[in-house]
């Protein structure tokens, strides 16, 4: 009669698996079921969670979601962020309309019209300047 303990748990039918072949069938079946489960996409809560990388089809299908989130983030966070958001949505530079001076019909209103025009020009210049600042700072969330 054979001594089963002399084989150290290896050999015919005496290993960890307790049977012929490789390992326990219950263990290997259970393990394969766990690995075949599909993982649910993780919930996105912050800007760092919205990343786009080129790779699998799943990652490619994330592009519209990531782009939409970034555009909304820029629109809400930046001063005059609508200009940058529109430029990103249309994929071209935002075109500002420069205010035009309209001379008044009455000469007495000339000074008032000039003051209003100067005010509109200052606002226009501020928006264009802020747009340029936002263009540069937009690269940070996109490429982080």
Q: Which residues, 6 or more positions from 122, have their beta carbon under 8 angstroms from its beta carbon?
A: none
> Can you tell me the distance from the alpha carbon of 34 to that of 27, in angstroms, rounded to the nearest whole number?
11
Same domain, 30 and 51: no
For residue range 47-92, what is the model confidence (pLDDT) as tens digits?
Answer: 666 555 566 666 667 778 888 888 998 999 999 899 999 998 888 8
Q: What pLDDT, on a 0 to 100 scale, did the predictor assign at position 115? A: 93
Same domain, 71 and 128: yes
Q: How confident is the model at residue 97 (pLDDT cuts 50, 70, 90)?
A: very high
Does the pLDDT value for residue 127 go beyond 80? Answer: yes
Residue range of the domain that includes 121: 47-142
Q: What pLDDT, on a 0 to 100 scale, did the predictor assign at position 2? A: 55
Please check whether residue 42 lies inside any domain of the structure: no
Report helix angle 63-77 to 81-90, nearest 10. Answer: 160
Same domain, 63 and 97: yes
Q: How many domains does the chain have?
A: 2
Q: What pLDDT, on a 0 to 100 scale, did the predictor assign at position 85? A: 92
More confident residue, 138 or 82: 82
Same domain, 74 and 110: yes
Give Cα separations from 101 to 5, 105, 111 (angstroms).
102, 13, 12
Q: What pLDDT, on a 0 to 100 scale, did the predictor assign at position 69? A: 87
Same domain, 72 and 125: yes
More confident residue, 59 or 7: 59
Task: Tell me the torsion sign for CA atoms 36, 40, 46, 51.
Answer: positive
Same domain, 109 and 137: yes
Does the pLDDT value for residue 125 go beyond 90? Answer: yes
Place of tokens 């200009």: 83
Does the pLDDT value for residue 128 go beyond 60? Answer: yes
Q: How confident is the model at residue 7 (pLDDT cuts 50, 70, 90)?
A: low
Please check whether residue 41 lies inside any domain of the structure: no
Same domain, 128 and 82: yes
For residue range 14-43, what is the model confidence (pLDDT) as tens digits?
Answer: 555 555 555 555 555 555 445 445 565 667
Mean of pLDDT values over 85-105: 89
Angle value at C-alpha 17, between 16 and 23, nearest 5 degrees: 110
Closest CA to 79 of 129, 45, 34: 129
- Burial class of residue 55 in the structure, from the number of CB atoms within 10 Å of its CB (0-12 exposed, 13-18 middle, 19+ buried): exposed
> Can you tell me the distance from the alpha carbon of 44 to that of 88, in angstroms, rounded to the nearest whole number?
21
């Amino acid at each position: 009669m054979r001594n089963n303990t002399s084989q150290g748990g290896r050999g015919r039918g005496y290993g960890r698996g307790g049977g012929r072949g490789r390992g326990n069938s219950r263990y290997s079946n259970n393990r394969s079921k766990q690995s075949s489960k599909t993982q649910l996409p993780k919930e996105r809560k912050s800007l760092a969670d919205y990343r786009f990388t080129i790779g699998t089809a799943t990652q490619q299908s994330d592009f519209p979601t990531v782009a939409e989130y970034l555009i909304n983030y820029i629109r809400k966070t930046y001063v005059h962020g609508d200009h940058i958001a529109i430029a990103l949505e249309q994929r071209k530079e935002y075109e500002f309309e420069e205010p035009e001076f309209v001379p008044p019909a009455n000469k007495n209103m000339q000074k008032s019209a000039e003051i209003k025009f100067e005010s509109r020009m200052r606002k226009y210049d501020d928006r264009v300047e802020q747009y340029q600042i936002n263009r540069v700072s937009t690269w940070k969330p996109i490429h982080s």
